[in-house]
Amino acid sequence: MVLLGGYDIEVKFGGVTALRDVTLEVLPGKIHAIVGPNGAGKTTLLNVFSGFIKPRKGKVLYQGRDITRIKPHVRAKIGIGRTFQKTSEVFKHMTVLEVVMTGALASIKDSVIDIFTSALWHGPYFRKEEEIREIAEEVIEFMELYEYRHRIVGSLPYGLQKKVDVARALAGKPKILLLDEPMSGLTREEREDMARYIIEINKVLGITVVLVEHDLSLVYDLADVVSVFSFGSKIAEGPPAEILKSEYVASAYMGKATI
């Protein structure tokens, strides 16, 4: 059964077509990589999957349910987690623990206002605030961020900020995690470190991963399935050993040589 799928998706920004009749299905338990040159539509598709962009046509199904018109925060609550290319300005003045706790809110059914208003008075939602903190602390341990938990996110090196964003998304207890260039701007050592976390998220935690990434050597090592995008269309899909060695794909991918 398909976990998350987009079908005949079309997105336009003014007169520019960002996605053209794209169909992509993500199977549960897999690491599904999306690759392609800048402007190919990769991030746009993640935005459609996570609800930040509504397609001009087409539909999005999650566990067989049509979620095309469902808002992003609702998608987070039903199990679709998301990271972003750049660490958000919204979180730069918060501590690591506070940021990860905001992610944990997605796993709690009650509203943010109910939880925190009641928590101030040790009311019936006080235990929810404690539950949120416990979830956040567990994720911080998993991502090896404990020594930074009370540090302001904006004061951390860029590589650590990227880890915090992954931790925030993980705290929502997603069934599928959409990672938008989690290794961009990282050193080789940091990229290898992030690759290890992605494997553990998938294999240890059992979370399906959709990965947008430019480093084809890492994609080759990580992915079960690779989809290649060019000019808003999906031009190839299959196992990395087959797809990333294709001369056709290499030619479309900005003239880069195959692995």
CA 165 – CA 143 distance, rounded (Å): 10
Q: For residues 47 and 6, is the Cβ–Cβ distance under 8 A?
A: no
Count of domains forming the chain: 2
> What pLDDT score was predicted for residue 130?
82
Q: What is the pLDDT of residue 198?
A: 97
Residue 122, pLDDT score: 52
Query: Do residues 157 and 226 share a domain?
Result: no
**Is residue 59 included in any domain, yes or no?**
yes
- Asked if residue 178 lies in contact with residue 46, where contact means CB atoms within 8 angstroms, the answer is yes
75/187 same-domain check: yes
Domain shared by 96 and 131, yes or no: yes
Contact 226, 240 (CB under 8 A): yes
Are 208 and 254 in a shared domain?
A: yes
Q: What is the pLDDT of residue 215?
A: 86
Q: Both 161 and 186 in a single domain?
A: no
Task: Kindly state whether residues 32 and 94 are assigned to the same domain.
Answer: no
Alpha-helix residue ranges (DSSP H) falling in the chain: 42-50, 72-77, 96-104, 112-120, 126-142, 158-170, 188-203, 216-222, 240-243, 247-252
Do residues 133 and 203 both lie within one domain?
no
163 and 181 both lie in a single domain: no
Q: For residues 73 and 196, state if they share a domain.
A: yes
Indicate whether this model's pTM tops 0.75. yes
User: Domain containing 160: what range?
Assistant: 89-170
What's the confidence (pLDDT) of residue 258? 44
Please tell me whether residues 15 and 128 are part of one structural domain. Answer: no
Evaluate whether residue 84 is within a structural domain.
no
Do 164 and 180 lie in one domain? The reply is: no
Do 181 and 221 share a domain, yes or no?
A: yes
Domain membership of residue 250 (yes or no) is: yes
**pLDDT digits 0-9 by tens, 72-92:** 999 999 999 999 877 655 578
Of the three residues 170, 190, 205, the one that is the final residue of a domain is 170
Question: Residue written as tokens 């935005």?
Answer: 47
* 203 falls within a domain: yes
**Domain end: 170, 192, 214, which one?**
170
Q: Which of 170, 199, 225 is the last residue of a domain?
A: 170
Q: pLDDT at position 127, please?
A: 60
41: phi then psi, degrees, rounded to nearest 5: 110, 10
Residue 66 falls within a domain, yes or no? yes
Residues of the chain scoring pLDDT < 70 = 87-90, 109-127, 252-259
The CATH number for 253's domain is: 3.40.50.300
